[in-house]
Structure 1
Amino acid sequence: MTQFAAFLRGVNVGGVNLKMAEVAAALTDAGFANVRTILASGNVLLESSSSVEAVRNTAAAALRARFAYDAWVLAYDIDTVRTIVEAYPFEREVDGYQSYVTFVADADVLDELAALAAGPSEKISRGDGVIYWQVPKGSTLDSTIGQTMGKKRYKSSTTTRNLRTLNKVLR
């Protein structure tokens, strides 16, 4: 069995309110083992012998069926998440700034996001299947990446987590 991190897009923000205990139950019922949620923002650790693609598709289908919402899930084996976090190219903790990783499941979308010009106080860097970015606290939604990610085109293939959350997932 491989341990995976499943990141649910838009959970407990923007009107999609799910109780994490119910999310864990839905994923357990879908056949995943040792399901555990981290925080209330759609971060799930689970185990499966399936491929990462099968984990993503099965998790999304289970959540759609249980909660009747358009569930978007990005899944990665835990070693991949660790490698992504370790590769963060900017200083991790900067007073007054948020440090983020945007996971991107579509290569064309990754190319588009990587081509964006950073705003005046923003840093953007392409990683392996991710966009690393850092913005002043309070300006996330006004940032180049933040404004772009809010568009419907990006919702099904991207989700963002801050480094603190990812470190909790990896503990």
Structure 2
Amino acid sequence: MNRYAAFLRGVNVGGINLTMAEVATALADAGFAQVRTILASGNVLLESNLPAAAVRAKAEAALRARFGYDAWVLVYDIDTVRAIVDGYPFEPEVDGYQSYVTFVTDTAVLDELAALAAQAGPDEKISRGDEVIYWQVPKGSTLDSTIGKTMGKQRYKPSTTTRNLRTLAKVLR
């Protein structure tokens, strides 16, 4: 069995309200093993013999069928998540700042988001990683940041989701 982290995009924000218990049940009913949720923001640990792409497709289909919303799920094996967190290029804990990782499955979108580094303000840091964008912004400025303003666009929803570095640390425990 492969151990995966599945990150649901847009759960419990913007009108899509799901309890994590319901999400866990839906994914277990879809045939995933050892399903466990972390926090209330769409972080799921699960096991499957399927490759990550098949886990993503199966999880999205199960959530769409159960809850009737356009579910987007990004799936990574746990070692990949650990490598992404370990690769965070900025000081992770800076007073007054939030540290984020945006997971990106579409290379064209990754290129677009990485290009935003040239437009970032003096207090915002943006760096491209392997299938991720690392960024750091002052607390309270996330939605007004260069990345924050861009991520709300419809075109990014199927292929991106963002997590705070502290949330990812909890996923890896």
**Match of 1:128?**
130
Paired-residue identity, %? 81
**Match of 1:150?**
152
Deviations 1:103-136 (A, max 9, x none): 0010000000001122221000000000000000
Q: Distance in 1 between matches of 2:71 and 2:31?
A: 18
Q: Distance in 2 between matches of 1:143 and 1:97?
A: 12
1:70 partner amino acid: D
Q: Which ranges of structure 2 fall in alignment gaps of 5 or more residues? A: none
Q: How many residues align?
A: 171
Within a 5 Å distance, the mapping from 1:67-146 to structure 2 comes to: 67-116=67-116, 117-146=119-148
Cα shift at 1:40: 0.3
> Normalising by the residue count of structure 2, what TM-score does the alignment of the two structures yield?
0.98
Deviations 1:30-89 (A, max 9, x none): 110000000000000000000100000000000000000000000000000000000000
1:167 partner amino acid: A
Q: Distance in 2 between matches of 1:121 and 1:41?
A: 26
From 146, 168, 171, give the equivalent of 1:169: 171
Secondary structure (helix, strand or coil) at the match of 2:75 reads: strand
Secondary structure (helix, strand or coil) at the match of 1:62 reads: helix
Secondary structure (helix, strand or coil) at the match of 2:25 reads: helix
Q: Distance in 2 between matches of 1:138 and 1:55?
A: 34
**Match of 1:10?**
10
Secondary structure (helix, strand or coil) at the match of 2:23 reads: helix
Q: Which ranges of structure 1 fall in alignment gaps of 5 or more residues? A: none
> Normalising by the residue count of structure 1, what TM-score does the alignment of the two structures yield?
0.99
**Match of 1:29?**
29
Bigger Cα displacement from structure 2, 83-92 vs 117-126: 117-126
Secondary structure (helix, strand or coil) at the match of 1:17 reads: coil
Q: Distance in 2 between matches of 1:114 and 1:158?
A: 13
2:121 partner amino acid: G
Q: Distance in 1 between matches of 2:15 and 2:95?
A: 30
**Match of 2:58?**
58
Deviating above 6 A after TM superposition, structure 1's stretches of 4 or more consecutive aligned residues are: none
1:164 partner amino acid: R
1:118 partner amino acid: A
Deviations 1:142-170 (A, max 9, x none): 00000000111101100000010000000
1:148 partner amino acid: T
Secondary structure (helix, strand or coil) at the match of 1:115 reads: helix
